[in-house]
Homo-oligomer: A and B are copies of this chain.
Amino acid sequence: MPNVYDVTNWTIAANPSVTAYSDIGAIINDIIATIKTNQTNQSSKPGAMIYIPPGDYSLKTRVTIDISYLQIKGSGHGFTSIGIRNGAGNTSSWFELNPGASHIRVENTDGQAEAFLVSRGGNPRLSSVEFRDFCLDGVSFSSPYVNGKVGIRVATANDSFRIEGMGFVFLEHALIDYNADALNVTGNFMTECGSCVELTGSGQASKVTNNHMGAGYIGFSIFAEGHTGLLIAGNNIFPAGASMVHFKNTSQSCITENRFNSYYPGSINTEGSNNENLISGNHFWRQSDPNTSHPSQPGWDELYGEMFLLGSNNMISGNHISYDVDPSRVTPSTSTVPTMILVKSGANNFISNNHVEGSVAVNTVVLDVSTTGTKVLDSGSSSQVLSYSSSYTLRPTP
């Protein structure tokens, strides 16, 4: 079939001993070079599909994608828990030890961090590159969640990309996308990674939906910088993750209908100025990290807030928070009254109809002295809402 490539039957003319099994990165780079040689007409560059059949492949050389419309596709996300295996002791009787399906071991020997780098200067932006249904496996960490490995880094402005059905495991960074427009991250399995989805630079109109995720205890499940119109919906995000969602100067975006299970304060975290966002219909289940050797985030004790908000005109509504922390683990002291929603700055935030169930007494909402015009409706009793500002409106939950 034209423009359809199978990595397992490709040979690099200049280096015929390389196979997809010995270095799938070199193979894919050679296929891309061939596509570019074949598609030289500016008006007709449809790209290609590169298929990765089920198998165990080593990636020694970073792939660089600088063409639009390339779909790289496997036949399964192939996740298995390396963490459970590593903690299991004697595994000599185990049926299998490693992830599988269309399974790429990220083992760069080229000095590069990335398995896949997507990058092109000039015009237009790269469009419609698709990664689908294969597994990127970082194999091992040098220390927890640290190995310098990046599954996919999109380094230049991009439009209408699609990351779907992928598996990511044991990578320090699963997916980094810089300046994404109308990105779609859907149906992926991204766990046991340092960070899962990092949207850097700026971006608009993107979606992170219907994924399973779980980052390391020092990383982000979802990070977004300078975005507007981002929709984060319908994800099932489990521990650890220093935060579940971290917004940096991100506005007019949605965090809706997700299920969050976290071990630390700052499940929803912000930095900079984040305005007019909607955080609604989510379920938060906060527990204690069962691994007590993990550090707390710097300075984040239980006063930091399950949600920590910097910005104005945000709406936080219809969320359920189960705060289920062992009283002996509450910091800075066991007599601390933990904070659920901390509005640290900003004007006219609207907090309504949130329900909290706590293993200890909590402050459902705390307003910093710098805040103005916050409305707090049906989100805690009078004694559960604490304001250091005189500029706010409270209708306590009766």
Partner of A42, one of B48, B51, B97, B253: B97
Q: What residues of B have a CB within 8 angstroms of the CB of A114 in the complex?
A: none
Q: What residues of B have a CB within 8 angstroms of the CB of A281 in the complex?
A: 256-257, 278, 280-281, 318
Closest-CB distance, A274 to chain B (whole angstroms): 13
Residue of B nearest to A49 (CB): B75
Interface size class for chain A?
Answer: 35 or more
Q: What residues of B have a CB within 8 angstroms of the CB of A241 in the complex?
A: none
Partner of A3, one of B53, B80, B95, B277: B53
Q: What residues of B have a CB within 8 angstroms of the CB of A207 in the complex?
A: 210, 212, 234, 236
Binds B, one of A120-128, A146-154, A327-335: A120-128
Tell me the bound Cα distance from A187 to B6 in angstroms. Answer: 26
Interface residue? A88 (CB, 8 A): yes
Interface residue? A229 (CB, 8 A): yes
Closest-CB distance, A81 to chain B (whole angstroms): 6
Interface residue? A78 (CB, 8 A): yes
Q: Is the CB of A54 within 8 A of B71?
A: yes
Tell me the bound Cα distance from A120 to B93 in angstroms. Answer: 13
Binds B, one of A98-106, A264-272, A302-310: A98-106
Within 8 A of B (CB), among A92-118: 93-103
Q: Is the CB of B100 within 8 A of A53?
A: no
Q: Is the CB of B43 within 8 A of A93?
A: no
Tell me the bound Cα distance from A75 to B320 in angstroms. Answer: 40
Residue of B nearest to A95 (CB): B122
Q: What residues of B have a CB within 8 angstroms of the CB of A78 in the complex?
A: 46-47, 69, 127-128
Chain A 150-161, CB-CB to B under 8 Å as 1, else 0, gives: 000000000110
Chain A 319-339, CB-CB to B under 8 Å as 1, else 0, gives: 010100000000000000000
Closest-CB distance, A135 to chain B (whole angstroms): 8
Interface residue? A225 (CB, 8 A): no
Q: Is the CB of B8 within 8 A of A124?
A: no
Q: Is the CB of B88 within 8 A of A357?
A: no
Interface residue? A91 (CB, 8 A): yes
User: What copy number does this chain have within its complex?
Assistant: 3
Say yes or no: A43-B97 contact (C-beta < 8 A), given A76-B71, A236-B229, A278-B283: yes
Tell me the bound Cα distance from A253 to B189 in angstroms. Answer: 19
Q: What residues of B have a CB within 8 angstroms of the CB of A49 in the complex?
A: 53-54, 75-76
Interface residue? A317 (CB, 8 A): yes
Q: Is the CB of B101 within 8 A of A71?
A: yes
Binds B, one of A22-30, A215-223, A242-250, A347-355: A347-355
Q: Is the CB of A159 within 8 A of B47?
A: no
Interface residue? A44 (CB, 8 A): yes
Q: Is the CB of A93 within 8 A of B80?
A: no
Within 8 A of B (CB), among A272-295: 276-278, 280-281, 283, 285
Residue of B nearest to A350 (CB): B355
Closest-CB distance, A182 to chain B (whole angstroms): 5
Residue of B nearest to A103 (CB): B46
Closest-CB distance, A198 to chain B (whole angstroms): 19
Interface residue? A313 (CB, 8 A): yes
Partner of A53, one of B4, B276, B322: B4
Within 8 A of B (CB), among A48-97: 48-49, 51, 53-56, 67-69, 71, 73, 75-81, 84-85, 88, 91, 93-97
Task: List 7 contacting pairs A-B, 8 Å CB cutoff, sorted by A.
Answer: A43-B96, A69-B100, A95-B120, A101-B130, A182-B191, A205-B212, A207-B236
* Given A45-B98, A69-B76, A184-B189, 8 new contacts (CB under 8 A): A1-B6, A44-B56, A68-B80, A68-B96, A84-B124, A100-B127, A256-B283, A393-B398
